[in-house]
Amino acid sequence: MKITRAKGSKSLRYQCQVAFTIIELLISVAILSIVISVAIPLYQDYIEEGRISVAVQDLRNISFVLDDAFSDGDLPSSLTDVGINYNDPWGNPYQYLNLQDPSINKGDVRKDKNLVPINSDYDLYSMGPDGDSQGPLTAKPSRDDIVRANDGGFFGEAESY
């Protein structure tokens, strides 16, 4: 604020300077850019973790329904046989394979790093964010899958198994 006295006047006149310099604006934009460049990846990671949590919970719920159906007799041949026809958080249908069915292709069975099947009753999984999958969990397209393993003892990301 600048205080001046007009010529021949006994009163003071106040002049306020209300403006930003270009340097102040550039510094503000730079700080804002840094904050945004850090915040966006953190937000995207948070959203992805949420989707993974939803997929894990969905797999647990589907597994509960399938285990209930299994206690009554044979496993269903597809998820639609027990009324399950919804998609994972990435928009892909959940994958199910009845391992008790003698007509299945053994190459479709999910396997761990030693190429041992991860389940003995049925495979249940989401193909994850990329929407692609292969039998072995160590294959690149399968690393982001959300799987049920150890006959329901493990639910989570394939790369964590």
Give 50-100 pLDDT, tens digit per residue.
Answer: 999 999 999 999 999 888 877 777 788 889 888 888 899 999 999 999 888
What DSSP state is assigned to residue 151? G
Convert 132-145 to b/e letters by CB count within 10 Å (16 or more is b).
Answer: ebbbbbbeeebbbb
How open is the CA angle 28-31-35, to the nearest 5 degrees?
135
User: Distances from the Cα of 101 to the Cαs of 84, 97, 122, in angstroms?
Assistant: 19, 9, 9
- Does the pLDDT of residue 145 top 80, yes or no? yes
Give 22-57 pLDDT, tens digit per residue.
Answer: 898 899 999 999 999 999 999 999 999 999 999 999
User: Across the chain, what does the average pLDDT equal?
Assistant: 86
Measured between alpha carbons, how far apart are the two ends of the chain, in Å?
66
Can you give the pTM of this predicted structure?
A: 0.76
- Alpha carbons 85 and 37: distance in angstroms, whole number: 39
We find that the CATH architecture of domain 20-160 is 2-Layer Sandwich (3.30)
pLDDT of residue 9: 60
In the chain, domain spans: 20-160
pLDDT of residue 13: 60
